Chain A
Amino acid sequence: GAGVSQSPSNKVTEKGKDVELRCDPISGHTALYWYRQSLGQGLEFLIYFQGNSAPDKSGLPSDRFSAERTGGSVSTLTIQRTQQEDSAVYLCASSRYGQGSNQPQHFGDGTRLSIL
């Protein structure tokens, strides 16, 4: 079946603009995760969804960041009033089950966000 799909692949925008990043997880996966990866760095956890609810959003760096998930499927990460430090690759992952399981996460190709 299809893997995790993210769009757009690349996004260049001006400082101060809002951006929306989309993630379409593997069908049937109940858990969805957003991570941020700065150049040459490891992954920084942002938010975890179980179904449509987000039991852990502790990694969101500021109130400019928000995310939602609808229908237990597609998720959107929104960054308002973007800043240059928001430039990074945003990775989405999904797994069959979430909290309490040890299921591996399957990743999309990421969105490279560049703030001018």
Chain B
Amino acid sequence: AQTVTQSQPEMSVQEAETVTLSCTYDTSESDYYLFWYKQPPSRQMILVIRQEAYKQQNATENRFSVNFQKAAKSFSLKISDSQLGDAAMYFCAKPPYQLIWGAGTKLIIKP
């Protein structure tokens, strides 16, 4: 069975600093996608970034980037220049269609 694991229930970071959220997964597939979603207190789940497994280059979206280690089955999210609006639950997720979800990491931003 495929699994996604987030081992950090909670992380905190000082505003303007960098934080890395961890995610590991298990799959027998060779080609797949991985997603990071953000869920602020408003409840809406928002796609932050996605990575295609066959691409060597790590995905980047503005202040958000991933460190994708395919052999290690690791998919961490780096947030640079943290802002107060980044405070949220962050979930790592993997298709197939119903998405397999990690338990989430609560990110706290300290002003």
Contact = CB atoms under 8 A, between A and B. Distances in A.
B11 interface: no
Nearest to B35: A104
Interface residues of A, number: 26
Interface residues of B, number: 22
A106 B45 CA distance: 8
Contact of A43 (B44, B95, B96, B99): B99
Given A42-B102, A42-B104, A106 B47 contact: yes
A103 B46 CA distance: 14
A110 B99 contact: no
Interface of B is mostly: loop
Contacts of A56: 97-98
Contacts, number: 55
Residue of B35, B45, B91, B95 most packed against chain A (CB within 10 A)? B45
A42 B43 contact: no
A91 B45 contact: yes
A105 B36 CA distance: 11
A70 interface: no
B47 A104 contact: yes
Interface of A: 31, 33, 41-43, 45, 48, 56, 59, 89, 91, 93, 95, 98-102, 104-110, 112
Which 3 A-B residue pairs are closest in the complex by CB-CB distance? A107-B45, A102-B33, A45-B98
Interface of B: 32-33, 35, 37, 42-47, 50, 52, 91, 95-99, 101-104
